[in-house]
């Protein structure tokens, strides 16, 4: 019960009850509501700023998450290192191996071809760690692609190297008659006096003078294409098809040591020096063909000669003398 208050009215000369005004009541009411709100708000601020109290479970989860983040960062760093090593291999691949085997370098864009278009990492988005995980996934994807391309490139190079090896084994690269068996280098490639007509004529091969029966060697790997005496002038002669456009011819043989169709390797004895056909004395007339054209055989002896021997044979072959044909 609230106290009833009175006041003295000087006009009526009587005490009158003090009536509380309605507006004042509303004001008090509003103020108290505001007060409640304010105190609630202050409590909320205090609550939000208090160090949150965590359960042991939450604490252990947080530690685990932190550890995982750390490991992710370490993995990212390791991937960057792997990428650096791979980049060096790629550079060597492009600038050395592929150049050496006459293959085009693989452009950087192709090696690290992007994963544009669709977002492959959409599932990884929307988390606090999204960026870290997306980066890791992208790095690993690029690394994988680089490795696949590099591996394919090396496969290609192995193939090219094997081909090159075969080519090098096939090309005529040694003398058909050994130096120790030579009585002299009779005549080289170029204009020489024909032994029969005494006219100046182009001599398309090299003559290796040696006693009858001296072994003649295959100058490169290949297949015997001819072993007969039906070509004019050559007498008993052998042609080896080396592939890659190369052929070698050995003429004026005394005897054959091979048959047509037989496969031979460089250094195999294919026949013996003689003087059959258009020949003045026992010798081996030797020719080398590339794509059907006769070329100077002297350019092919690098396989068996020292620098001095090559200089000697070059000098002898260039002497303009009479060939033995």
Residues found near Zn ion in the complex (CB under 5 A): 205, 207, 285, 323, 325
Q: Characterize the bridge pairing of strands 190-193 and 6-9.
A: unpaired
E strands, the chain, where? 6-9, 14-17, 184-187, 190-193, 200-203, 206-209, 215-217, 222-228, 237-243, 246-251, 253-256, 263-264, 269-273, 283-290, 293-295
282 in helix, strand or coil?
coil
Task: Provide the minimum distance between the beta carbon of 252 and Zn ion in the complex, in angstroms, as a whole number.
Answer: 8
Task: Provide the minimum distance between the beta carbon of 197 and Zn ion in the complex, in angstroms, as a whole number.
Answer: 14
User: CA 108 → CA 76, 77, 103, 134, 259, distances in Å?
Assistant: 21, 22, 15, 22, 53
Nearer to Zn ion, 83 or 193 (CB): 193
User: CA 133 → CA 62, 107, 124, distances in Å?
Assistant: 17, 28, 7
CA distance 155 to 297: 35
Nearer to Zn ion, 86 or 253 (CB): 253
- Which residue in 20, 136, 148 sits closest to 80, CA to CA? 136
Q: Report which residue's Cβ sits closest to Zn ion.
A: 285
Task: Provide the minimum distance between the beta carbon of 203 and Zn ion in the complex, in angstroms, as a whole number.
Answer: 6
Nearer to Zn ion, 171 or 186 (CB): 186
Nearer to Zn ion, 97 or 289 (CB): 289
Contact 183, 198 (CB under 8 A): no
Nearer to Zn ion, 205 or 277 (CB): 205
Task: Provide the minimum distance between the beta carbon of 319 and Zn ion in the complex, in angstroms, as a whole number.
Answer: 14
Nearer to Zn ion, 201 or 223 (CB): 201
Task: Provide the minimum distance between the beta carbon of 192 and Zn ion in the complex, in angstroms, as a whole number.
Answer: 8
Task: Provide the minimum distance between the beta carbon of 306 and Zn ion in the complex, in angstroms, as a whole number.
Answer: 25
């Amino acid at each position: 019960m609230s106290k009833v208050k009175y006041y003295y009215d000087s006009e009526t000369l009587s005490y009158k009850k003090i009536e509380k005004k309605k507006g004042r009541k509303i004001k008090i009411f509003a103020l108290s509501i505001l007060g409640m709100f304010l105190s609630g708000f202050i409590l909320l601020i205090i609550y939000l700023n208090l160090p949150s109290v965590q359960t042991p479970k939450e604490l252990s989860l947080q530690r685990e998450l932190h550890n995982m983040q750390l490991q992710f960062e370490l993995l990212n760093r390791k991937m960057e290192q792997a990428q650096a090593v791979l980049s060096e291999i790629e550079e060597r691949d492009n600038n050395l191996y592929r150049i050496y085997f006459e293959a085009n370098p693989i452009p950087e864009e192709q090696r690290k071809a992007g994963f544009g278009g669709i977002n492959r990492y959409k599932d990884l988005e929307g988390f606090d760690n999204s960026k870290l995980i997306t980066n890791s996934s992208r790095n690993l994807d690029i690394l994988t692609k680089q490795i696949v391309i590099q591996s394919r490139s090396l496969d290609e190079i192995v193939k090219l190297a094997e081909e090159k090896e075969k080519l090098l084994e096939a090309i005529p690269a040694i003398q058909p008659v050994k130096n120790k068996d030579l009585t002299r280098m009779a005549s080289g490639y170029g204009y020489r006096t024909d032994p029969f007509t005494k006219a100046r004529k182009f001599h398309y091969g090299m003559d290796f003078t040696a006693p009858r029966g001296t072994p003649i060697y295959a100058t490169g790997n290949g297949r015997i294409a001819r072993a007969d005496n039906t070509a004019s002038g050559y007498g008993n002669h052998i042609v080896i098809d080396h592939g890659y456009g190369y052929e070698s011819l050995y003429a004026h043989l005394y005897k054959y040591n091979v048959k047509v169709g037989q496969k031979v390797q460089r250094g195999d004895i294919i026949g013996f020096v003689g003087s059959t056909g258009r020949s003045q004395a026992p010798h081996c007339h030797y020719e080398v063909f590339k794509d059907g054209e006769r070329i100077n055989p002297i350019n092919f002896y690098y396989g068996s000669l020292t620098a001095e021997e090559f200089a000697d044979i070059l000098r002898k072959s260039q002497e303009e003398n009479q060939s033995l044909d």
